[in-house]
Every structure is written in C-alpha cells, then in structure tokens.
Structure 1
Amino acid sequence: MPHAEGVSEDEFRAAMTRLAAGVVLVTAYDAEDGPGGADVGMTATSFMSVSLDPPLVMVSVRNGSRMDELLERQTYWAASLLTEGQRQTAGRFAMKGRLSDRLLFRDLPHTRGEASDAPLVTGALATVECRTEQRVQAGDHTLVIGRVLAAGLPHAADSRPLTYFRGRYHSLTKGGD
C-alpha cells in the first residue's frame, strides 16, 4: 500500500536492501529482570559513528521491542561489531519469535563490559560501550545516540566484517580491503 508520498513499504524496503551495512550485536544488561537480571541482545545493521568529539554512535531500535523498552529505562549498552565468522550469532539474535534472551546468551562466548556491564562478544572486530545521550523518535524506530565510554579491538586486525546486503549476510572478498 502506498504511503501519502507515493512509495510503498515494499518498494522502500527493496530499495534499502541495496545498501550494504556492517552487522553489530547490540547488548545491554537488564538488572530488573528477575533474580540475577538478564542480558538482552539484538542484531542491528542501522549503526553508525556520529561524532569524534565527543565520541558518539547511533543505533536504530524498533519501537516496542525488548531492547527499546530496556534502553528507555536504563542508559548503558554496548555494541560488538561482528566478523564474517559470527554469522550464526547475527542470525540467532535477529530471528523473529526467537528464544528467550537467557537461552540466546547461554553458549555465546562473551565478557562483561566494565563501563556498561553489557555483554561484549568474544572475537568481535571491535566493541564500544555506551551511555545513552539522546533518544529521537523516527517513524516506527527510535534512534538511540550513545556516548562511547570505552572501545576495544578484541580480534585480529586482519579479520573481515560481517555485512548485510540484499537481505542476506555476506563477507568481504580479499579484493574488498
């Protein structure tokens, strides 16, 4: 069905699949989720650097999602930039009707961030730990802008990023460097 502007949701989605994007796992710790709390995670491709001074990043989070609700009430979170070898991790956290967060994290190798207390994926290309600076409503998503409190490079420099293009995960070829 076309929007007032004339482009349908399907047309817009098809056009945007032509934009290659890096894949990150956004995570946070929910201390209020029962005894011992719970880790929460989501796969994202709408993630970017916003500013060097101060260091800011942005992630787009679907309104009403578990991550949106969590980041509305607590401000610390992290993002792990995934490698081509972490395709299964990306897929697991992106599934609709997925397993509970407790099961998703059970066998995922990770450490806990010192600045955010959020899970950081072991072997990621890079990690950033953030504190939310601003939330901006944008249609059916919220843009969460975070101040980077810590950044790490836990994986070998020659690793390749996991990318998302035309609705599928991809790896960069050797010539893509």
Structure 2
Amino acid sequence: MPVDAADFAAALGQYAAGVCLLTVRDGIDDVGTTVSSVMSVSAAPPLVAVGLSAQGYPAEVLEEVGTCGLTVLAAQHAIVASRFASAGRPSARHLLESVPWSRAPGSDAIVLDDGLAALDCRLERLVEAGDHVVALLAVEAVPVLDADARPLLRLRGRYVDESGSPRPRA
C-alpha cells in the first residue's frame, strides 16, 4: 500500500531542520534557493549533500556551473529564506538588497556575511532521487563561521527559534 503523501510530509515536518541558502553564480546572474535538506556526509574529504527539486532551475544551473555557495542561515534570515523559497523569484542580488553578503573565494557565489557558516563548494555529482536530486558537494573553503549566531530552524512547516516556538512574522 503506497504511503499517503500528506502523511509523509507531516511526518517529515516533525523533524526540525536547519535552513540554508544555496547560491550559484553563472555567466549571466546569481541564482539562489532555500534548502533544508542538507546533511554532512564526510569529514575527510569534507562533503555535504543537498536535496534539490529535480525540475528546478537551481539544480539545472548547479549542474552546468559545477560550483556553489551554501550559507547556514541565522535566526534573522527568516525573510531571506521565505524570499528564496518563492517561485518566480528575481536575481539573488535583488533579494539581498539590505543583507550583507560577499563572494565565496572559489565558486564566486554569494554567501551571507552574517550567517552561522558558509561553505564554498564544488559539485561532485548529482544523484537522481524521485522528484529531487541529491547534490553531493565537496567543501573547498569555509568563508564564514560564527559559532555565536542563533540558527534559523524549520519545524512543522514554520520557522521557529531554538525552543521550537514560532518566530514572529516580521
């Protein structure tokens, strides 16, 4: 018997996850998307895996360019996360007009200066996984690291603080 899609989504919504911003700089523009399906894969060599919609433009651009930036978002980035989760969004630079950012040294992708951490990554490979792809990323640098920043978390379809209480809407 197949698993009900709504039950599956509700079950996974019970798992609190950090929220990240994946950005890619191609020859024309900057593309970005909010992701919460991120996991550490290996420390030696440093690898992370990121789940992306298989039909989405960010996965297509990442495959073409082969490098990206991945910022672990801080609590104050809830609006940024919402902006990059919306369909039909404009250039990443336009969505970050009031947010301090810089370029990662290897990928030249946008990373947020006030995130918890930022990873400068090279695509090892894309693996098909249902309606998504898993991007296996080799971490080549850590241009941002702030151990004191408060994380942005997603739980039950909403952004929450460390206690699990909903974040106020800004």
CA distance in structure 2 between the partners assigned to 1:148 and 1:62 by the alignment:
21
CA distance in structure 1 between the partners assigned to 2:109 and 2:103 by the alignment:
6
CA distance in structure 1 between the partners assigned to 2:53 and 2:99 by the alignment:
23
- The structure with more radius of gyration: 1
Q: Which runs of 5+ in 2 are unaligned?
A: 164-170
Q: TM-score, normalised to structure 2's length?
A: 0.90
State the match for 1:66 in structure 2: 57
Tell me the CA shift for residue 158 of structure 1: 2.0
State the match for 1:9 in structure 2: 5
State the match for 1:144 in structure 2: 135
**Helix, strand or coil: the match of 1:153?**
strand
Tell me the CA shift for residue 30 of structure 1: 1.1
The number of residues matched between the two structures is 163
CA distance in structure 1 between the partners assigned to 2:25 and 2:98 by the alignment:
17
Q: 1:91-145 CA distances to partner (integer Å, 9 max, x unpaired)?
A: 1101134345453244432101111100011200000011011110000000000
Q: 1:129-169 CA distances to partner (integer Å, 9 max, x unpaired)?
A: 110111100000000001100013343x3221100000000
**Helix, strand or coil: the match of 2:107?**
coil
Percent identity of equivalent pairs: 39
How large is the Cα RMSD of the aligned pairs?
A: 1.5
Q: Which runs of 5+ in 1 are unaligned?
A: 32-36
Does 1:49 pair with 2:45? Answer: no
Does 1:124 pair with 2:115? Answer: yes
Which region of structure 1 is more displaced relative to structure 2, 67-76 or 20-29?
A: 67-76
Q: TM-score, normalised to structure 1's length?
A: 0.86
Q: Cα distance 1:158–1:100, how it changes in 2: closer, same or farther (>3 A)? A: closer
